């Protein structure tokens, strides 16, 4: 029986991880997982969660892709895997699935951030106001199996919470010039400068919001694997901008758009989670790598018809304060995040007003939440040593809860 089990494990490992063997790494080296979480390059058997996944006879295609992308070397006949600290002891087979009681809780404490996040003090009561109107995992922040690791074009159902803003001018012409993120069945979160009249080009107004969109040239959107439902065009009932926002580059660059009707969720339309627990709400995410996605639009330019994505690293905030205050005379506040500036990779691949997304582990499952909203940056995006600025969503949870309604 032992010999048969060892043969089974060997075959599963080889068929699951056969795609690529990178240069052999020294056991214990630092690495980044496919979801951009810091980890250590160790023997597969030492990473309990991923090792148990390999042994699962019903392993999903998504898990197989994740395991392939997690491989960081091959040493002494053994596979090395990039293992996050919490995966060493976490069980893939005994970790309980969310119970009905779990779904009534405010977003659970982050596993990844309990010991690593840099926080600022806060005495906020996260159960106040209309927090019950915001979804909790697993009703938010989860995707199907086919997330693409690497590359710039998204899968047809990847990041199903992204919203595309459609504007109309006085002559009836239409254009897509901003984005946002769905946070429940009636509200889209975005940047204030995308909906503030003085910031929108003269003669244009926001008239609808698309959900479930992927390629703006086709409807429905199709790939070799099949077609998605037609996108949903949503009318707007009300726009609420933060009262502290007055002009572009202001720190309170955040707004809520209420849709006229409730949005039915599907594999292609679902909300993202918000950072509502204390550790996530106050985190500054220094050196974390996050996802940004969208159609490459800003409030003044048009670029890509297909939804794109990129990864962006959070930078030291004090360095951004020095850059923007000295050269541009733009004051920054702790309610903002500073990210990117590595050259060639920035929110050119996303949308002004779109989300900066972080993947965390909740109850043993990957969950996405909105850490930031694209606010502003240098006139040329993707410029080396010039990070862009994002509204830090966690700083505005109270305001969001006060301004949403059933």
| Percent over 90 (pLDDT), the chain | 41
User: What is this structure's pTM?
Assistant: 0.70
Residues 218 and 128: their CA atoms lie apart, in Å, by 43
Residues 326 and 319: their CA atoms lie apart, in Å, by 11
Catalytic hit among 215, 221, 253, 291? 253
**Is 248 a known active-site residue?**
no
Which H or E run contains 372?
Answer: strand 365-376
Q: Write down the CATH number for the domain with range 29-88.
A: 3.30.1640.30
Residues 188 and 229: their CA atoms lie apart, in Å, by 20
Query: So what's the pLDDT on residue 92?
Result: 63
Query: So what's the pLDDT on residue 125?
Result: 37
What stretches of 173-283 adopt beta strand conformation (E)?
A: 174-182, 187-190, 204-211, 222-223, 226-227, 232-234, 236-241, 255-259
Residues with Cβ < 8 Å from 242, sequence gap 6 or more? 192, 252, 253, 254, 255, 396, 399
Query: So what's the pLDDT on residue 314?
Result: 93
* Token reading at 3: 């010999």
**Is 20 a known active-site residue?**
no
Query: So what's the pLDDT on residue 311?
Result: 86
**Is 221 a known active-site residue?**
no
Query: So what's the pLDDT on residue 156?
Result: 93
Residues 76 and 371: their CA atoms lie apart, in Å, by 41
* pLDDT tens-digit readout, 168-202: 999 999 988 899 999 999 999 999 999 999 899 88
Q: Which is nearest to 79 in space by CA: 11, 21, 140, 163?
A: 21
Residues 142 and 209: their CA atoms lie apart, in Å, by 21
Query: So what's the pLDDT on residue 258?
Result: 98
Residues 32 and 290: their CA atoms lie apart, in Å, by 12
Q: Which residues of 291-304 are buried (b: 16+ CB within 10 A; e: fewer)?
A: bbbbbbbbbeeeeb
* pLDDT tens-digit readout, 220-269: 999 998 999 999 999 999 999 999 999 888 999 999 999 999 999 999 99
Q: How far is CA 189 from CA 194, 250, 309, in A?
A: 11, 17, 19
Q: By the 8 A CB rule, do 356 and 373 touch?
A: yes
Residues 142 and 162: their CA atoms lie apart, in Å, by 13
Q: Which is nearest to 84 in space by CA: 66, 98, 57, 97?
A: 66
Q: By the 8 A CB rule, do 242 and 255 touch?
A: yes
- C-alpha 352, offset from chain centre: 15
pLDDT tens-place values along the chain, 406 residues long: 444 434 334 334 444 443 333 333 455 788 888 777 788 899 888 888 888 777 665 666 667 667 777 888 777 667 788 888 888 887 765 544 333 333 222 323 333 333 333 222 223 333 346 889 999 988 999 876 444 444 488 999 999 999 999 999 999 999 888 999 999 999 999 999 999 998 998 899 999 999 999 999 999 999 998 999 999 999 999 999 999 999 888 999 999 999 999 999 999 999 999 999 988 999 999 988 899 998 874 444 456 789 988 888 899 999 999 888 887 888 899 999 999 877 555 555 457 899 999 988 777 778 999 999 999 886 556 566 788 899 999 999 999 999 999 9
Query: So what's the pLDDT on residue 26?
Result: 55
Q: What is the residue extent of each domain of the chain?
A: 29-88, 162-402
CATH architecture for segment(s) 162-402: Beta Barrel (2.40)
Residues 382 and 359: their CA atoms lie apart, in Å, by 23
Catalytic hit among 185, 193, 277, 351? 193
Catalytic hit among 131, 279, 349, 352? 352
Query: So what's the pLDDT on residue 21?
Result: 34
Q: By the 8 A CB rule, do 362 and 111 touch?
A: yes
Q: By the 8 A CB rule, do 364 and 109 touch?
A: no
């Amino acid at each position: 029986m032992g010999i048969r089990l060892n043969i089974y494990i060997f075959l599963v490992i080889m068929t699951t991880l056969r795609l690529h063997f990178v240069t052999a790494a020294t056991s214990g080296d630092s690495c980044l997982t496919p979801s951009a979480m810091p980890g250590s390059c160790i023997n597969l058997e030492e990473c309990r969660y991923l090792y148990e996944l390999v042994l699962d006879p019903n392993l999903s295609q998504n898990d197989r892709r994740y395991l392939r992308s997690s491989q960081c070397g091959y040493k002494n006949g053994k596979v090395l895997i990039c293992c996050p600290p919490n995966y060493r002891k976490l069980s893939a087979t005994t970790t309980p699935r969310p119970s009905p009681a779990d779904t009534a809780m405010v977003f659970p404490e982050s596993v990844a951030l309990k010991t690593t996040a840099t926080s600022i003090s806060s005495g906020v009561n996260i159960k106040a106001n209309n927090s019950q109107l915001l979804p909790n995992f697993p009703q938010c922040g989860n995707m199907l199996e086919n997330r693409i690791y690497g590359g710039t074009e998204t899968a047809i159902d990847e990041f199903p919470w992204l919203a595309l803003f459609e504007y109309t001018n006085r002559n009836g012409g239409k254009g897509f010039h901003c984005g946002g993120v769905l946070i429940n069945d009636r509200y889209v979160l975005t940047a204030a400068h995308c909906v503030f009249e003085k910031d929108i080009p003269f003669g244009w107004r926001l008239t609808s919001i698309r959900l479930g969109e992927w390629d703006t040239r086709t409807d429905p959107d199709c790939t070799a694997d099949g077609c998605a439902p037609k996108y949903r065009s949503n009318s707007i009932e009300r726009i609420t901008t933060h009262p502290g926002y007055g002009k572009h580059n202001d720190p309170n660059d955040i707004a809520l758009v209420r849709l006229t009707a409730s949005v039915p969720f599907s594999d292609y339309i679902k909300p993202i989670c918000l950072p509502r627990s204390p550790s996530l709400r106050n985190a500054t995410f220094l050196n974390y790598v996050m996802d940004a996605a969208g159609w490459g639009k800003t409030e003044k330019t048009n670029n890509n018809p297909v939804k794109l994505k990129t990864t962006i690293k959070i930078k030291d905030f004090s360095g951004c304060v020095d850059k923007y205050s000295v050269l541009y005379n733009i004051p920054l506040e702790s309610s903002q995040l500073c990210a990117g500036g590595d050259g060639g990779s920035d929110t050119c691949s996303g949308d002004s007003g779109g989300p900066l997304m972080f993947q965390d582990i909740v109850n043993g499952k990957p969950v996405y939440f909105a850490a930031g909203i694209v606010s502003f940056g240098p006139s040329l995006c993707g410029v080396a040593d010039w990070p862009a600025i994002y509204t830090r969503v966690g700083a505005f949870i109270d305001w969001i809860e006060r301004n949403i309604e059933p």
